[in-house]
Structure 1
Amino acid sequence: MKTSVKARIAVSVLGLATALTAGAALIPGDRTPSSATAPSRQPAEIPVSAGSLKSAIQALTARLRRLPGDHQAWARLGSAYVQQARLSADPSFYPKAEQALARSAALSPGNFAALTGQASLAAGRHDFAEAVRLAKLSQTANPYGQGAQAVLADAYTQLGRYDEATRAISRMMELRPGVAAFTRASYDAELRGDRTTARRMLEHALDDAFSPDDIAYCRHYLGELALRSGDPRGATEQYRLALKAAPDFTAALAGTARAAALDGRPAEAADLYATVVGRLPLAQYVIEYAEVLVAAGRDPAEQWALLRAQRTLMEAAGVKDDLTWAEFEADHGSPARAVEHAEAEYARNPNVVAADALAWALHRDGRDREALPYARKATATGWRNALFHHHRAEIERSLGRTEESRRSAARARDADPTFSADLPALARFS
């Protein structure tokens, strides 16, 4: 690797480690959506202006200098650090969040704000079982807090406990029907194969949105749904409207890049991804960028090096993410290591995404008979996920199950007529 490339990677890693001073987005406590460093198969954070986070942290820090016994301020500060880690892709803020939330809990044992923040922190670190435990304690302390239900909905989804996730979302609807509840209801419906309801829930969310950030968030997920349905042009229009509402919403720019790549424009996509990764070097975006560079005939080595550096930061901050590395190793590295990661992920979080990752890793490692039961689990909820059905078709074909393979391939085409297995990370964005 050239020295200049090493220097750019060092700068990117330093940016991850110092992102707090630049600011990101502070989300009100009752939204508590999924982590930007968590698996990307559920709604991401609702964006808020960078200045609001910086101002909130400064104000809370100043208040705590004057009133160090204010347990609510400590809880809010801890939650702010959780959001900072999530939206800056910098997990080094999780230890700061842990300290602030522990201080709140020590000052006022059992207070629901600290418990909700700790639950969100556990989810950010991918400890979803612990997130459920803490969110239930928060729910007991305050049965009317929507934040705990949001954590439960997301954590249950990651644990593959879909009926319980649905109940948590229903409770969110009872407490406060709005953007946070409707977007989760949309994803819940999509997991069950009901795209009509999924779209309707997103439209309800958009109707309820009043701030530019909420509008951008809803437009972005309408774009994601369109892209998963094989409509890259329609998706691009939704991303454009998202960026019109909130120009700094990086997820919508990443969606625009993804749509360009899937629409056969890799050079344009690569230029967009350069901006995306420069702003927010999430593992998902880095892998997508590398794949697009390959498709555009360019060298992805710098992105793979950045990905490895990011992995080191995640591990140091206590983030458990075997899913990303299972998928990466299966498609770009060692199938044997992919199996190890996928087995570890599925043991903790037996959801359909982990089942697909394990099935594909086993297939790539030449273990198709072991892979098939997991491929069936991955497609059992009715989710019209073209990649999952493609993986199942390939496993069935390898086992000589010709007719079953044809049916699975047909389901992949029905889910997304534009699907291509040439860019696997882009197909996994859902």
Structure 2
Amino acid sequence: MNSRTVKYQCGLGAAFAVVAVLLAQTGCERTESRPSKAQETRGQTQLVARNPERIALTPLDGDGPLDQKIAATQARARSAADPSQALERLGWLFIAKARVSFDPGFFALAEQCALAMDGRKPNSPESLLLRGYALQNLHHFKEAERVARELAQRRGCSFDYGLLGDCLMEQGRLGEAEAAYQRMADIKPDLYAYTRAAHMRWLKGDLTGAIEVMEMATQAVSARDAEPAAWVFTRMALYQLQAGELAKCRQYCDAALAFQKDYPPALLARGRLLLAQEKFGEAAEALGLAAKLNPLPEYQWALAEALRAANRTSEAEAVERKLEARGAAADPRTLALFLATRGVSVPKAIKLAQAELETRGDVFTHDALACALMAAGRFSEAAKETQLALSEGTQDARLFLHAGIVAQGLSLAAEADKFFGEAAALGQMLLPSEQAQLKDFYDRRSRVSADVSPTENNNQRNKERS
């Protein structure tokens, strides 16, 4: 759909539970056997179910408009002499359901639709594209890349290149991803091409360019596709927050929530804005709803920060316990960061980040590993990961903060001061505990000099803007 890989609550959704039971009943297994020529692009590890069609057509609960479309399409597939078209439609409905429900089980069901299609017409572009998108959103980036490359070579549609670019981007191969996205835009310059181009500019450190292109995306949204529209406005809200345009950030958050009521990413963005304005009670309210609807580590961490800042310590601790208990399955990279910044279970944090790096080698995974290594006092190793985290020019406050801490650990005072200054300039993007780390650096430095903390100046500006 766009440059994002959506984060989902792994293992906790109703659809995920249904899929797990059905896979067990149908004898589903992962096999390492040598794939046939038609299967090579789907990876060395192939999900094999004896009856994927049965899994895809199993009735599900739900009475919303999208649930009704799913049920009707399942019925159409059951009665059709050749259900291939209905299965394809069903697969994309499952993907749409995954995006609004934040249940990854629907991606697994979409993959089963693709497998059922493949059983009737092996290696068709339609089944490959559907399966590629399911795999990519389930974070099987290398398998999805192989699917995308076959699609790009065989037919070269815009969505084929979009999928390829997404897989490459998540693996940290931005040059290749940029080329794939450019081919996508050349073929069809639309909403999906604009959002990817904007994200690529942001990753490369061009916030102004990202905002310009995302503005084009906001003009291309349709109320008929509420979730994509809500995502576009949420991303723009975060860009505006980074630019220091707090009023505009609020406007874009409101617009996103108008498209999709209680949209968790928009609630998270609103919570981050309120944290920047030091409105901790309001932030806790927004983030509490966001974390309830999508209990991922990223959401829970932000909520815990708001609760602590609002002096609701026991509630914050309860949220953090949930984060630690379920985070490894839901989002190991964020859990690794959380553990490392707290200085707890540091060996586990290192292991989680290293494992994530095997499949997701982007700048943020390198940063997570750097953070875990520096928590263990392994600053020389952390410095290598920090260099990789900064290699694309991404302007991110957390990346700069961690780089400063690593430099400080290596007694590189001038370098640390530079990175901390860059983090302070984007201080509104930091969580309260991260701002406290930054403030501690300047407080210690102020005992030697009379400099005023850029973070304090930045926070004061945020209050004035609000």
Work out whether 1:151 is the aligned partner of 2:156: no
Indicate if the aligned counterparts of 2:238 and 2:249 stay in contact, CA closer than 8 A.
Answer: yes
Work out whether 1:285 is the aligned partner of 2:299: yes
Give the letter aligned to residue 303 of structure 1. Answer: V
Indicate if the aligned counterparts of 2:11 and 2:329 stay in contact, CA closer than 8 A.
Answer: no
Q: How does 1:20-31 map to 2 (within 5 A)?
A: none
Q: What residue number does 2:432 align with?
A: 422
Q: Secondary structure at the match of 2:428?
A: coil
Give the letter aligned to residue 163 of structure 2. Answer: V
The structural deviation recorded for 1:391 is 0.6
Q: What is the distance in 1 between the residues matched to 2:380 and 2:360?
A: 22
The structural deviation recorded for 1:113 is 1.8
Q: What residue number does 2:39 align with?
A: none
Measured against aligned partners, the alpha-carbon deviations of 1:310-364 in whole angstroms (never above 9, x if no partner) come to 55875xxxxxx43122122212431111111111112222210111111111001
Q: What residue number does 2:155 align with?
A: 142
Indicate if the aligned counterparts of 2:305 and 2:431 stay in contact, CA closer than 8 A.
Answer: no
Q: What is the distance in 2 between the residues matched to 1:216 and 1:159?
A: 26
Give the unaligned 5+ runs of structure 1: 1-11, 22-49, 315-320
Q: What residue number does 2:280 align with?
A: 266
The structural deviation recorded for 1:99 is 2.1
Q: What residue number does 2:323 align with?
A: 307
The structural deviation recorded for 1:376 is 1.2
> Which one of 186, 189, 192 corresponds to residue 198 of structure 2?
186
Q: How does 1:31-430 map to 2 (within 5 A)?
A: 51-67=64-80, 69-144=82-157, 146-211=158-223, 213=226, 214-298=228-312, 299-307=315-323, 310-311=326-327, 314=330, 321-332=331-342, 333-414=344-425, 416-420=426-430, 422-423=432-433
Indicate if the aligned counterparts of 1:13 and 1:306 stay in contact, CA closer than 8 A.
Answer: no
Give the unaligned 5+ runs of structure 2: 1-8, 19-62, 438-466
The structural deviation recorded for 1:115 is 0.8
Question: Structure 1's 87 and 331: CA in aligned 2 closer, same or farther, altered over 3 A?
Answer: farther
Q: What is the distance in 1 between the residues matched to 2:16 and 2:141?
A: 25
Q: What residue number does 1:25 align with?
A: none
Measured against aligned partners, the alpha-carbon deviations of 1:32-77 in whole angstroms (never above 9, x if no partner) come to xxxxxxxxxxxxxxxxxx9452233122101111116322322332
Indicate if the aligned counterparts of 1:111 and 1:141 stay in contact, CA closer than 8 A.
Answer: no
Q: Secondary structure at the match of 2:91?
A: helix
TM-score, structure 2 normalization:
0.75
The structural deviation recorded for 1:132 is 0.5
Q: What residue number does 1:4 align with?
A: none
The structural deviation recorded for 1:95 is 3.6
Question: Structure 1's 82 and 169: CA in aligned 2 closer, same or farther, altered over 3 A?
Answer: same
Q: What is the distance in 2 between the residues matched to 1:242 and 1:196?
A: 21
Q: Report how many residues are paired.
A: 379
Indicate if the aligned counterparts of 2:87 and 2:114 stay in contact, CA closer than 8 A.
Answer: yes
Q: Secondary structure at the match of 1:400?
A: coil
Measured against aligned partners, the alpha-carbon deviations of 1:148-206 in whole angstroms (never above 9, x if no partner) come to 22221211111011011111211221222111110110010011111121111011112
Question: Structure 1's 418 and 274: CA in aligned 2 closer, same or farther, altered over 3 A?
Answer: closer
The structural deviation recorded for 1:135 is 1.3
The structural deviation recorded for 1:239 is 0.8
Indicate if the aligned counterparts of 1:220 and 1:238 stay in contact, CA closer than 8 A.
Answer: yes
Give the letter aligned to residue 370 of structure 2. Answer: A
Q: What is the distance in 2 between the residues matched to 1:354 and 1:194?
A: 20
Q: What is the distance in 2 between the residues matched to 1:62 and 1:404?
A: 63
Indicate if the aligned counterparts of 1:387 and 1:421 stay in contact, CA closer than 8 A.
Answer: no
The structural deviation recorded for 1:18 is 5.4
Q: What is the distance in 1 between the residues matched to 2:10 and 2:372?
A: 29
Q: What is the distance in 2 between the residues matched to 1:366 and 1:421?
A: 23
Whose RCO is larger (CA < 8 A, sep 6+)?
1
Indicate if the aligned counterparts of 1:110 and 1:141 stay in contact, CA closer than 8 A.
Answer: no
User: For the pair shown, which has the larger CA radius of gyration, 1 or 2?
Assistant: 2
The structural deviation recorded for 1:380 is 1.4
Give the letter aligned to residue 382 of structure 1. Answer: G
Q: What is the distance in 1 between the residues matched to 2:81 and 2:325?
A: 36
Question: Structure 1's 137 and 419: CA in aligned 2 closer, same or farther, altered over 3 A?
Answer: closer
Q: What is the distance in 1 between the residues matched to 2:180 and 2:10?
A: 37
TM-score, structure 1 normalization:
0.81
Deviates more, 1:290-299 or 1:81-90: 81-90
Give the letter aligned to residue 304 of structure 1. Answer: E
Deviates more, 1:81-90 or 1:388-397: 81-90
Q: What is the distance in 2 between the residues matched to 1:246 and 1:421?
A: 26
The structural deviation recorded for 1:91 is 2.6
The structural deviation recorded for 1:248 is 4.0
Q: What is the distance in 1 between the residues matched to 2:99 and 2:320?
A: 21
Give the letter aligned to residue 150 of structure 2. Answer: L
Question: Structure 1's 113 and 14: CA in aligned 2 closer, same or farther, altered over 3 A?
Answer: closer
